[in-house]
Structure 1
């Protein structure tokens, strides 16, 4: 199983950003990451300098979103949907995206559900509850 370090993740996104800007060939996962990067121009400045990104490892700023975590969550949700794992996540995300009329906005709501599931799992010391995660996404898809 692939288990990248925080530095690996930062190098990956900075590399994808550079490849995208110079129109270099990319692997499928890089192309998907580039699509999410394009959706977030507010993070582009942080993706231009890999050394600066690595130097900021471990810095916590509660008033600022971590672009690498944010992009990684987009990529994780995309991958979950592509393989429908946990089973039912694809349909739940599609329902939410249809309800919102915007896949990007739907992803941001799914991120909240994913974050909650992971936090509850860690807090309780138990495996993540995929069914609770899917149900949280479905609830968002069926309410205004």
Structure 2
């Protein structure tokens, strides 16, 4: 199973941006990452210096979102939607995107549900509850 470290994730996003700027060929996953990076220009400075990215910390108290966590969640949701896993997420997403008139905002709403689902699973020591996750999305 693939289990990247924090540094691996940060290098991946920094490298995707670097390769895009250099007009180099991107892997399919890098291309998806690039598409989300483009939609978040506020993260470009964080991704432009890989060494600084490896050293930087994003404490909650600092009030600055962790761009690597945010972009990773976009990738996770994109993967879930591409394979409709958990079953029903794609249709729930499509309804939410239509309601919000924004696919990007729908991703952000799903992110809230994903974060809540992961937090609950970690707290309980149980696997993530996909039914509760889908219910959260549908309630949005």
Q: CA RMSD in A?
A: 1.0
- Does structure 1 conserve the Cα–Cα contact (< 8 Å) formed by 2:58 and 2:66? no
Q: CA deviation at 1:94?
A: 1.1
Question: Structure 1: which 4+ aligned runs deviate by more than 4 Å?
Answer: none
1:102 aligns with 2:102: yes
Structure 1 stretch 58-67 or stretch 116-125: which is displaced more?
58-67
Per the alignment, in what secondary structure is the counterpart of residue 110 of structure 2? helix
CA distance in 2, matches of 1:3, 1:95: 32
Change (3 A) 1:61 1:134: closer
Per the alignment, in what secondary structure is the counterpart of residue 2 of structure 2? coil
Structure 1 stretch 37-46 or stretch 91-100: which is displaced more?
91-100
Change (3 A) 1:36 1:96: same
CA distance in 2, matches of 1:43, 1:86: 29
Gaps of 5+ in 1: none
Where does residue 48 of structure 2 map in the other structure?
A: 48
Q: CA deviation at 1:59?
A: 5.0
CA distance in 1, matches of 2:99, 2:29: 27
Instruction: Say how many residue pairs are matched.
Output: 139
CA distance in 2, matches of 1:99, 1:135: 16
Q: TM-score, normalised by structure 1?
A: 0.93
Query: Superposition pairs for residues 1-144 of structure 1, below 5 Å?
Result: 1-56=1-56, 58=57, 60-62=59-61, 63-140=63-140
Per the alignment, in what secondary structure is the counterpart of residue 113 of structure 1? helix
Gaps of 5+ in 2: none
Q: TM-score, normalised by structure 2?
A: 0.96
Change (3 A) 1:61 1:124: closer
Q: CA deviation at 1:60?
A: 2.1
CA distance in 2, matches of 1:55, 1:112: 27
